[in-house]
């Protein structure tokens, strides 16, 4: 797909858009534009305590519509080419949404990250503000705890653990349909992610390849997994790949416009930067993912300032791309600092080095842009390095080969130092026992990270993606060494996607930074790694089949070329589908919504809840506050025990009575409440949960049982 055309007519499409098709090109940027507008308006309203349906419908809806209208304002195509490919891509996205919607999860009881996001969304959807108030329990008491799993005590209130972006998006579902509506937002986002990735494939490989990319992406187990419950990875993916689509469209529009009319393209590049930057408001890890965007913007600015024999119109996109990135990043950092400071402090061990790397990239980018003319003049005096393209391609292959042999050369371990590390180590040890492995709580299994890709994407896709990355790297390097070479061909369009995919893939595989049980750990691969490898693999299949078509044996028989494409498509689609089949048709955590609704009905409306047992306190403290609307606190328990001292419980019971409210005690077993009064079971949940596999791909689910008992204390004996 040639992107170097210089058509000046307004009725002709830029080459990338002709390939993508007008409808697919538009549909694959709308999700990122709409989410950007919603988040831009949502954060200030949440900070002001006004995150409510009417203000968000007016401001967030208007911002989303405005960005979509401006981002889609482009020449109308005379016809939409490859209509079958557009229809097939849309069908795959819609099928993905329906399938995951029918089999969506119900992770509401706080056990892992999805339920934390869900309860965060429930709270802001109902109350529109943070922090969460503590509630009146008759005054301060050293035996009172208001924090729980996923929720910190800070600044006289309770602060959710994560960034505010995903809950602001999931809150839409709660406003429209309560808890059931909230649980259907992830499948919708998953379908939009499939559409977004299909649009990226259409731009980079051609619209005919978009349905295959969408299908392979949609059937990967991590995509199914994160499209069924309230994770942050799918919204992050939409913003990141939507930003790529917008930037590719900005370049295509710029090169198809008359000289001196680049203002609309520059604005589109600014929207791309905004989408990239807002990924930080969704996941703080987005800072790592967008570092190549920062460097790329600097390259564009530098090339704009460098005297060239040929014009380089893309240089005009550098400044608006950088501006949008900084605005979106400012929103992300503001949301993190104001609303999630304890979470960022917890991540300081990895966040501080990442910020240092970011600072270095900023300095190098500014210096490179400022000194671009001198650097270019010096580079022209250097001898030609004809070996460099081949060396760059070889380096890509060697890096992947290094990850392949890593399990034989390294065993990644971590000694538990902090309380959080010790909890993770204990969790890994219990999971090892459940998996029939030798207990070793220091293991992290990160050396097997490439195996995770073999499980979820398949060996053929990984090999094809590696070949494609090597070929593209060689072409880009060769073009960079040729004066004016970067302005020609489709390869320059791959420069930023390849940089983002390569950087994030290598850093993620080296250090996933997540508890290594699957499918939970697979979420690390979702925002960039899996869609990136799928895009590269599809482009690699196109490159390989075109080379085969030029050989004598294939050129004489076109049917053979079509058979080769079909065989390659099967090699890409079948392996991930086989891995997914074991869990794709089994929804997890079903029944939690009904069980929690019953729990809320069982507790009197004028109650203040004291949770008198460790596990129940971890799981239900915020659920009772958010979904039941009840003041809730935990009673401190001594180290080595799961239940508090009776004297502390009785003291707090009397304090609650003095407030005029009814004290209610909850625990996991009736024996834990016998000292305070007769116990009644108010929850008996029997459901399925995700498997926790350490060395094999997950192929099933585990049972899960949760019981909750309640008593309303009688007078103290």
pLDDT above 50: residue 429: yes
pLDDT tens-digit readout, 540-589: 999 998 888 777 666 667 777 788 889 999 999 999 999 999 899 999 99
Q: SS3 for 690? A: strand
Whole-number Å distance between alpha carbons of 303 and 118? 45
pLDDT of residue 376: 59
Nearest to 327 by CA among 50, 61, 63, 55: 63
pLDDT of residue 12: 43
Mean pLDDT for 394-420 is 91
Token couple for 697: 């791909």
DSSP element (H, E) containing 641 = none
HEC per residue, 576-615: HHHHHHHHHCCCCCCCHHHHHHHHHHHCCCCEEEEECCHH
| One-character DSSP codes across 662-674 | EEEEEESSGGGTT
Nearest to 471 by CA among 531, 403, 544: 544
pLDDT tens-digit readout, 587-630: 999 999 999 999 999 999 999 999 999 999 999 999 999 999 99
pLDDT above 70: residue 481: no
HEC per residue, 379-425: HHHCCCCCCHHHHHHHHHHHHHHHHHHHHHHCCCECCCCCHHHHHHH
pLDDT of residue 193: 98
pLDDT of residue 347: 87
When comparing pLDDT for 648 and 389, which is higher? 648
pLDDT tens-digit readout, 171-187: 999 999 999 999 999 99
Mean pLDDT of the residues in the chain: 89
pLDDT tens-digit readout, 499-544: 999 999 999 999 999 999 999 999 999 999 999 999 999 999 999 9
pLDDT above 50: residue 3: no
pLDDT of residue 564: 83
pLDDT above 80: residue 386: no
pLDDT tens-digit readout, 207-235: 899 999 999 999 999 999 999 999 999 99
Mean pLDDT for 93-119 is 96
Whole-number Å distance between alpha carbons of 696 and 702? 15
Q: Which residues pair with 256 in a beta bridge?
A: none
DSSP for residue 441: T
pLDDT of residue 418: 78
For tokens 């508090």, what's the residue? 644
Tell me the pairing of strands 632-635 and 151-154: unpaired
């Amino acid at each position: 797909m040639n992107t170097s055309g210089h058509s000046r007519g307004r009725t002709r499409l830029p080459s990338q858009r002709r390939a993508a098709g007008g409808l697919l090109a538009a549909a694959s940027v709308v999700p990122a534009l709409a989410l950007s507008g919603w988040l831009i308006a949502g954060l200030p309203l949440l900070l002001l305590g006004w995150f409510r349906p009417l203000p968000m419908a007016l401001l967030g809806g208007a911002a989303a519509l405005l960005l979509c209208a401006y981002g889609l304002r482009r020449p109308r195509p005379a016809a939409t080419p490859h209509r079958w490919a557009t229809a097939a891509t849309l069908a795959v996205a819609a099928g993905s949404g329906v399938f995951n919607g029918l089999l969506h999860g119900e992770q509401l009881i706080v056990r892992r990250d999805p339920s934390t996001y869900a309860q965060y969304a429930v709270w802001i959807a109902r109350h529109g503000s943070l922090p969460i108030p503590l509630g009146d329990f008759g005054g301060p008491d050293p035996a009172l705890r208001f924090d729980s799993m996923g929720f910190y005590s800070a600044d006289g209130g309770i602060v959710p653990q994560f960034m505010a972006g995903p809950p602001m998006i999931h809150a839409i579902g709660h406003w429209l349909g309560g808890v059931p509506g909230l649980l259907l937002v992830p499948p919708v986002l998953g379908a939009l992610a499939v559409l977004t990735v299909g649009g990226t494939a259409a731009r980079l490989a051609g619209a005919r390849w978009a349905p295959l990319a969408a299908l392979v992406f949609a059937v990967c187990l991590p995509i199914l997994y994160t499209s069924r419950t309230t994770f942050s990875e799918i919204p992050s993916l939409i913003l990141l790949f939507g930003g790529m689509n917008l930037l590719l469209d900005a370049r295509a529009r710029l090169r198809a416009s008359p000289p001196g009319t680049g203002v609309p393209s520059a604005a589109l590049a600014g929207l791309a930067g905004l989408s990239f930057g807002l990924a930080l408001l969704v996941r703080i890890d987005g800072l790592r993912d967008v570092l190549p965007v920062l460097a790329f913007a600097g390259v564009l600015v530098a090339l704009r300032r460098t005297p060239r024999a040929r014009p380089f119109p893309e240089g005009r996109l550098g400044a608006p791309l950088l501006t949008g990135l900084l605005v979106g990043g400012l929103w992300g950092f503001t949301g993190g600092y104001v609303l999630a400071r304890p979470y960022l402090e917890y991540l300081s061990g990895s966040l501080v080095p990442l910020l240092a790397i970011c600072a270095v990239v900023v300095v190098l980018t500014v210096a490179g842009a400022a000194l671009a003319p001198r650097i270019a003049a010096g580079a022209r005096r250097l001898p030609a390095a004809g070996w460099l393209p081949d060396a760059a391609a070889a380096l890509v292959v060697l890096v992947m080969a290094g990850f392949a042999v890593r399990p034989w050369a390294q065993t990644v371990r971590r000694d538990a130092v902090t309380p959080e590390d010790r909890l993770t180590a204990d969790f890994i040890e219990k999971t090892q026992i459940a998996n029939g492995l030798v207990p070793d709580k220091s293991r992290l299994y990160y050396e097997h990270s490439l195996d995770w890709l073999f499980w979820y994407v398949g060996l053929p896709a990984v090999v094809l993606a590696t070949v494609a990355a090597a070929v593209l790297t060689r072409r880009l390097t060769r073009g960079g060494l040729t004066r004016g070479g970067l302005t020609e061909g489709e390869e320059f369009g791959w420069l930023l996607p390849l940089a983002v995919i390569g950087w994030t893939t290598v850093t993620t595989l080296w250090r996933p930074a997540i508890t290594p049980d699957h499918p939970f750990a697979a979420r690390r691969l979702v925002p960039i790694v899996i869609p990136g490898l799928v895009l590269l693999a599809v482009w690699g299949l196109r490159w390989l089949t075109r080379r085969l078509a030029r050989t004598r044996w294939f050129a004489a028989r076109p049917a053979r070329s079509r058979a080769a494409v079909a065989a390659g498509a099967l090699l890409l689609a079948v392996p991930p589908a086989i891995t997914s089949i074991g869990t794709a048709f089994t929804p997890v955590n079903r029944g939690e919504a009904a069980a929690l609704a019953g729990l809320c009905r069982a507790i009197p409306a004028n109650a203040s809840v004291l949770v008198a047992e460790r596990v129940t306190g971890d799981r239900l403290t915020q659920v009772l506050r958010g979904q039941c609307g009840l003041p809730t606190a935990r009673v401190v328990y001594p180290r080595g025990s799961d239940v508090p001292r009776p004297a502390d419980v009785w003291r707090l019971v009397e304090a609650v009575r003095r407030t005029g409210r009814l004290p209610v005690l909850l625990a996991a077993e009736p024996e834990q409440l016998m000292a305070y009064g007769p116990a009644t079971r108010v929850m008996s949940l029997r459901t399925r949960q995700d498997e926790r596999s350490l060395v094999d791909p997950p192929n099933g689910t585990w049972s899960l049982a949760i019981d909750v008992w309640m008593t309303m204390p009688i007078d103290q004996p």
